[in-house]
Amino acid sequence: MGEISAALSNVLNNENGHVVGGPRKSCWYEEEIDNDLRWCFALNSILHTGATQYQDIQLLDTKPFGKALVIDGKLQSAEIDEFIYHECLVHPPLLYHSNPRSIFIMGGGEGSTARELLRHKTVDKVVMCDIDEEVVEFCKSYLEVNKEAFSDPRLDLIINDARAELERREEHYDIIVGDLADPIEGGPCYQLYTKSFYEFIVKPRLNQGGIFVTQAGPAGIFSHTEVFSCIFNTLKQVFKYVVPYSAHIPSYADTWGWVMASDTPFVVSVDELDQRIKQRINGENRYLDGKTFTSASTLSKAVRNSLNNETHVYSEGNARFIYGHGRHNQA
């Protein structure tokens, strides 16, 4: 969920105690958004750093954004604003569905997607399938906000590759959620953004009227052509109705994108969305309501034009990647 490669470093001080290259003395987190663009912010501390079989992982205590989870050098989630990402990912498909009861999450290891899903009163079962057990256990231990979700009896936590798990299962689902890491070279899951995966694995596991939703990478005025536009176009080849939408997330330093898709049209009005929020969801949303979703799904002229003119279809042999590299593609 980030378009960046990261470096954890202490700002160097010269012999007079002044920060080299700047006036302040601190510990900083730096992300390389592009060759000529970097984004950094001050840290209180580095709470954890390590590596699993699949990914590098860090937990940072940042000054502007609170605790922040970083995987493979990409900021996945920050305490202050993760609610924007997770409310946008989860609530639109569940609110557009007439009666969502069974959900399958691809990824979602930190638990925030499950947390938002389990706020819905109609939901009977959530299967969360993440490939990296160490990341899941790490998030269980460190992310207090999701402890209740991890202990909810409706949650079935599976450690496996999401593709293999969906192929193995005979169950069908009302909603399938793609809360996966971004498609990056050397990353663990770019194959889960392909047309063949959507067509032959995801769609057959949806109930009639079912909805698929996925995070779709950066969707800013300059960054949306990396993967957002081709994920949208790829889903158009598989589903009859496809809705792209976006929102600005401060800790990502960009606008972020999601795409939901179904063979059933999305016809719920703004007022009905708000009514369903009141009736179906426990607690108050902090970000999303009917008007907010209408705004989120009204993309700028430039982005709309790009999406309308996109011809690239995502496949394993013809993949697009965001800027950066996964651990398994590094020396």
pLDDT number for residue 233? 98
Distances 235 to 20, 162, 308 between C-alpha atoms, Å: 48, 18, 13
pLDDT number for residue 188? 62
pLDDT number for residue 228? 97
Which residues, at least 6 apart from 91, have a Cβ–Cβ distance to it below 8 Å? 116, 277, 281, 285, 288
pLDDT number for residue 181? 82
Active site residue 182: no
Q: Which amino acid, residue 130? A: D
- Reference 75, options 89, 94, 62, 93; nearest CA is 62
Please say whether the beta carbons of 152 and 115 come within 8 A. no
Q: What are the pLDDT digits (tens) for 162-184? A: 999 999 999 999 999 999 988 76
Q: Is the pTM of this model over 0.75?
A: yes
228-236 and 301-309 are packed helices; what angle lies between their axes, rounded to 10 degrees? 50
Q: Annotated catalytic residue: which of 132, 179, 182, 254?
A: 179
pLDDT number for residue 25? 61
pLDDT number for residue 323? 64
Could you say which residues of the chain have pLDDT below 70?
A: 1-25, 184, 186-188, 323-331
Q: What are the pLDDT digits (tens) for 249-305? A: 999 999 999 999 999 999 999 999 999 999 999 999 999 999 999 999 999 999 999
Which residues, at least 6 apart from 260, have a Cβ–Cβ distance to it below 8 Å? 92, 93, 96, 211, 212, 213, 214, 242, 243, 245, 266
Write a three-state SS string for the chain.
CCCCEEEEEECCECCCCCECCCCCCCEEEEEEEECCEEEEEEEEEEEEEEECCCCEEEEEEECCCEEEEEECCEEEEECCCHHHHHHHHHHHHHHHCCCCCEEEEEECCCCHHHHHHCCECCCCEEEEEECCHHHHHHHHHHCHHHHHHHCCCCEEEEECCHHHHHHHCCCCEEEEEEECCCCCECCCCHHHHCHHHHHHHHHHHEEEEEEEEEEEEECCCCCCCCCHHHHHHHHHCCCCEEEEEEEEEHHHCEEEEEEEEECCCCCCCHHHHHHHHHHHECCCCCCCCHHHHHHHCCCCHHHHHHHHHCCCCCECCECCCCCCECHHHCC
